[in-house]
Amino acid sequence: MITLPWLDPDTLDFPPTHEALTEPNGLLAAGADLSAERLIHAYRHGIFPWYEAGQPTLWWTPDPRAVLFPGRLHLSRSLRKTIRQQPFEVSCDKAFEAVMRACAEPRDYGAGTWITDEMLSAYCHLHEQGIAHSVEVWQNGNLVGGLYGLALGRVFFGESMFSRKDNASKVGFAYLEAQLRAWNFQVIDCQVGSAHMFSLGAEEISREAFEQILLDCVYLPSVTGPWELNTPVL
């Protein structure tokens, strides 16, 4: 039986991250709300919410941490060809809620139920504050891919992505990585490793190393939104 610390709703305090469980990896605490202040405080310390409808809010800080360092993006030959052919139009911060809702749709490999109505509302509020951002991939006026996440200082915290056409989310991510690199962002947080992200160049580092990056980078001046993606990918 798992026993978790319950957060005090009247403070922003979290337990020390080294107290997170190893199984399931990184589960740290439960409870409290998704206020903008709590979310910003959590992300600055490498903590993020992830839970399904009907569960209490669960907070995570996995070890190791999956990250991608700008400048180390791997573009396969086929992805480079797709980018050169320009079958998509890519934008930023034009349809944040639509991207979140698309990310929440059921997938072939599992349901996206962790993006609850509460999370949708909380992250849309962060978007209105210029903290959360979306990348949209369009084809013939239709939204066919995209991703969203948070930017604090010079760190981008990726949350989720979706594709309705082959390579759509990868193209969107490539445009985002190029822009973040131009803005001197130091790391893109991918949270937990996946074959999809590893194929793009993500790697795993220790929680301690990730937290040091955060300490160095999340309080640097932020790039104000809404964002525009105007840096060439190739």
Read off the CATH number of the domain in which 91 is found: 3.40.630.70
Tens of pLDDT, residues 137-171: 999 999 999 999 999 999 999 999 999 999 999 99
Strands 187-191 and 155-163: parallel
Confidence of residue 111 (pLDDT cuts 50, 70, 90): very low
Note whether 58 and 82 are same-domain residues: no
Lowest mean pLDDT among 88-92, 183-187, 224-228: 224-228
Confidence of residue 110 (pLDDT cuts 50, 70, 90): very low
Structural domains of the chain, count: 2
Note whether 135 and 38 are same-domain residues: no
- Is residue 109 scored above 80 in pLDDT? no
Note whether 54 and 70 are same-domain residues: no
Note whether 76 and 183 are same-domain residues: yes
- Is residue 108 scored above 70 in pLDDT? no
Q: What's 57's domain CATH number?
A: 3.30.70.3550
| Residue 223 resides in a domain | no
| Residue 151 resides in a domain | yes
Note whether 94 and 198 are same-domain residues: yes
| Residue 229 resides in a domain | no
Note whether 136 and 41 are same-domain residues: no
pLDDT score for 113: 58
Which structural domain, as residue segments, surrounds residue 35? 17-62
Q: In the predicted model, what is the mean pLDDT of residues 42-70?
A: 96
Note whether 58 and 80 are same-domain residues: no
CA distance 146 to 138: 9
Residues in the chain: 234
CA distance 198 to 219: 28
- Residue 220: which region, alpha, beta or left (left: phi > 0; alpha: psi -120 to 50)? beta
| Residue 230 resides in a domain | no
Note whether 98 and 177 are same-domain residues: yes
Note whether 38 and 150 are same-domain residues: no
Q: In the predicted model, what is the mean pLDDT of residues 212-232?
A: 95
Note whether 104 and 157 are same-domain residues: yes
Nearest to 178 by CA among 96, 68, 97: 68
Q: To 10 degrees, what angle do helices 96-103 and 117-128 make?
A: 150
pTM: 0.96
